A and B are shown apart, each in its own frame.
Chain A
Amino acid sequence: MTLEAVLLVAAALFCVGLYGALSQQVVVMVMMGLELMLNGVILAAGAFWWFRAPAPDGQVLLLIVIAAMTVEMAMGFAVATLLHRSRGSDMTDSATDLSG
């Protein structure tokens, strides 16, 4: 269990999440992809903390990442609820008003 091994796993999780966030059409599935990406980030932060600098600052960073993930989830689901209520659809493709 070296730093490189844990980081590779974290990168794999990040890229699986990236694939999901880019390819999924439904808002909630895009959020699942984002969750996986943050999962990878948390694992990578934990690995860096243990293998390079086991100071309390790294743990604070982990807490901040977990809090940010929670906040993002809450707002994402609130927006998905509102989108569903006003448009009747849960696809990202029907929420492209600001693009182009």
Chain B
Amino acid sequence: MTEPIVQVSPIWAILAPIAVLLFALAAAALNGALVAQSAGRPFRSGASAPLGQVARLLRQRRQVTVAADVLLWRIGAGGLVVVTFLKILVIPLGPWTLADLGVGVVWFNTMDVMIWALFWLIGWGANSAHALVGGYRFLSLAVSYELPLMFALIAPAVAAQSLRVGDVVAAQHDLWFVIWMPVAFVIFCGSVIAFSSWGPFATGAGRDIAGGFLVDVSGVDRLLILTGRYAVLTAGAAFAVPLFLGGGGGPLLPDWLWTIVKTALVLAAFVAIRHRVPTIRPDRFAEVAWIIVLPAALLQVLVVALIAVGG
């Protein structure tokens, strides 16, 4: 039985970024291990790849491009991690949350819209054609996934009849939302992968445009962007837990441990999808998103609303 969500004192806000960064490191390690496995090397040898990357990037000198828009470039590069830290303010760890906002679900949505601006700024700042193309590709993908994501976020809020994350968790005490709103769950997971520019939705950083918005970033900026991608993926996976997977509910273990276990499982699934699904083209995806995914999301919200009003 889950306990009601309470807001803890702001002193604990120091732990939250550390936890997210540890999860991001674990996700990067899993990705490195899967890459090693697909290259034929043993699984564990790739797990230390992110640590080597961190060390290399911290020491690397920054690459300078001609007439780069340095102010916007640095804002874009550093902004991903800042947005993640703002996002996790509303995500509860078991019964504790840092900010018990009355509009927590909308706060999460607002923070991931900031990512639109950040990826475009990263692409713009380098004053490089391939980088700008990468930024534009991300925006074209973002326009496609944003409306389905908004409806997928509304569905649990309608079922709980509140925008507060604590109420959404409390409304799942007898049946998790993932069971009777699976379409919303799938759309939410796809959108998290999309706004992290990860896996099948990573055309913005694609190899066919020499790395897209990652082409000219180097040194600390590159470390911040790569960390930011994993961190945003973690924040999205962590938010799926109170929204669809019952928060901290479960037998035997305490609430906060269940939250961590569920977040880890969802995050591992997200990382593994990259090695299973090919990259999706944004222009082809637009038709799929507007003709199939958006009506499916609307139907899902209709079904949820009928059940919430009637049942």
Q: Do chains A and B touch in the complex (CB under 8 A)?
A: no
Q: CB within 8 Å of B: which residues of A?
A: none
Q: CB within 8 Å of A: which residues of B?
A: none
